[in-house]
Amino acid sequence: MDMVSQVAQPGVAVQRAEQAWERLLMGLQAQWRCALVLLQAGIGPVVLLYSGLLAAATVATGGLGRGPLAGLLGVAGLLAWPLAFFWWSRQHAAITRSRAAAWSGLLLREYHRSVPGLVQDERGHWWTGHSYFRDKRVAESVLLARTRVSDPATWRDVRWLAGNAVSAGVLALPSVGLLVGGGLQMTISLARSYFGRSPEDFVQAIFWAGVAVLGLLVAPHAVRMHSEWACRLLDPESSAKQEKVRLTKRVEHLTTTRADAVGSQVAELRRIERDLHDGAQARLVAIGMTLGTIEHLMETDPSSARSLLAEARQSSARALQELRDLVRGIHPPVLAERGLGDAVRELALDSALPVEVTVSLPARPEPPVESAAYFCVSELLANAAKHSGAGQVWVDILFRAGQLRISVTDDGRGGAAPERGSGLRGIERRLATFDGVFSLSSPLGGPTTITMELPCVLSSPRTSTSSERV
């Protein structure tokens, strides 16, 4: 076994060395790409700015008496400058698209409008869609200029001309600076160390070598982020697609939760109908039949009538209690009157396990959220009493950053899972209706902690902040 480990360790070391070498090579390649990005982002704006200033200066010198030829050249330069500007912005964007596809695999599509054709009328004039021209070349030039200027894709290219300069300065420049600066400082420190000027120079060389390596490691991420930034500015459809995907998932989620909510409501109505039919309704029918029998026995057998009357009184009391329990199952009066904290404390009092309740709510949540939270806690307390084998339960209710957060913890045997039943799936569906989050931590041996978060807005300013062991 020792020989195997000794043989395996060098193999692992060689594999790690190869991986590190591959990362450094990728960093060198990414550094070259960052340099190309900086060159592309800088040379175009500098040339355009210099040519524009040169043309303006030429016009100014011609106006100051330097000669009509200088003035004409300056005017021609100023007229040609917008054409050069739009031409370079389009070429600049095309270069970025090709590099994004080659470097990051992002396909940035072009959305430039095609130039429509000219229409010649019976007089021989050329119609551009807005005006007539006698000369065809003039009409083509005007139509081309109008199409390009009115094309949104042209202005996206112009926006990228400025955006690329910013992104290159923020992403590519620091990476190249780390490599170049670290490499130069490392070389200087090594030279000083070699000629024995200071023993600390070798330590500085190691530090600057780390800086250069950091530049190599950062460069691939800089290239990827630069391509993603170009995708956002040059291909708005990509961002729109991402938003469409997000909205589609959101609609699917809402459709599912709505179906679950409708199903839960139907099941709840059936439960109420079944409880009424099998409980209070049956008792009331029996009471009616008993009262009819008492009516016939009042004159012939008063003692039997009195005993039946006592039974009817007991049945009516039981029917009334069943109705109260049914109403409490629909919406507990204590929840409507005193809020979530006191309603959960009442649940704790009725629980078979000792429950410690901690509530920190500056105000009351919205009634639907409050009701959902109450029944989720009720279900969890019932599960803890039936299945966990716990001796203590803790319930914490608080409100933070627009979220009602409830955690229920027990010291039982653990191992709880939603797929095993125990009503956890129903709790998840109930919370999903409100975009709530359900998380479960239940390792074998315990403890089990269930956390529920529901986004909500607090309403009535009724403060309840306390801790109570019941």
**448-455 vs 393-400, strand pairing mode:** unpaired
122 within some domain: no
Least confident range from 10-14, 118-122, 423-427, 460-464: namely: 460-464
Domain stop point among 234, 259, 274: 234
Average pLDDT over residues 195-206: 74
Domain stop point among 234, 258, 286: 234
Cα–Cα distance, 324 to 279 (Å, whole number): 12
Position 56 scores a pLDDT of 67
266 and 222, same structural domain?
A: no
Q: How many domains does the chain have?
A: 3
Query: Residue 365 above 80 pLDDT?
Result: yes
Q: Assess contact for 461 and 345: CB atoms under 8 A.
A: no
Q: Assess contact for 283 and 322: CB atoms under 8 A.
A: yes
Q: What is the 3-state secondary structure (H, E, C) of 122-185?
A: CCCCEECCCCEECCHHHHHHHHHHHHHHHCHHHHHHHHHHHHHHHHHHHHHHHHHHHHHHHHHH
Looking at the chain, the whole-number percentage of residues with pLDDT higher than 90 is 0
438 and 354, same structural domain?
A: yes
Cα–Cα distance, 93 to 110 (Å, whole number): 9
Looking at the chain, the whole-number percentage of residues with pLDDT higher than 70 is 73
Question: Which one is predicted more confidently, 80 or 158?
Answer: 158
426 and 348, same structural domain?
A: yes
438 and 314, same structural domain?
A: no
CATH of the domain at 377: 3.30.565.10
For residue 199, what are the domain limits? Answer: 19-112+151-234
120 within some domain: no
167 and 61, same structural domain?
A: yes
Position 197 scores a pLDDT of 62
161 within some domain: yes
How sure is the predictor about 331, in pLDDT bands with cuts at 50, 70 and 90? low
Domain stop point among 216, 234, 252: 234
177 and 51, same structural domain?
A: yes
158 and 58, same structural domain?
A: yes
Kindly give, in sequence order, each residue whose CB lies less than 8 Å from that of residue 114, ignoring residues fewer than 6 positions away. Answer: none
For the whole model, what pTM was predicted?
0.42
Q: Convert the pLDDT of each residue in 221-262 to its tens digit.
A: 888 888 878 877 777 666 556 566 667 776 776 666 566 555
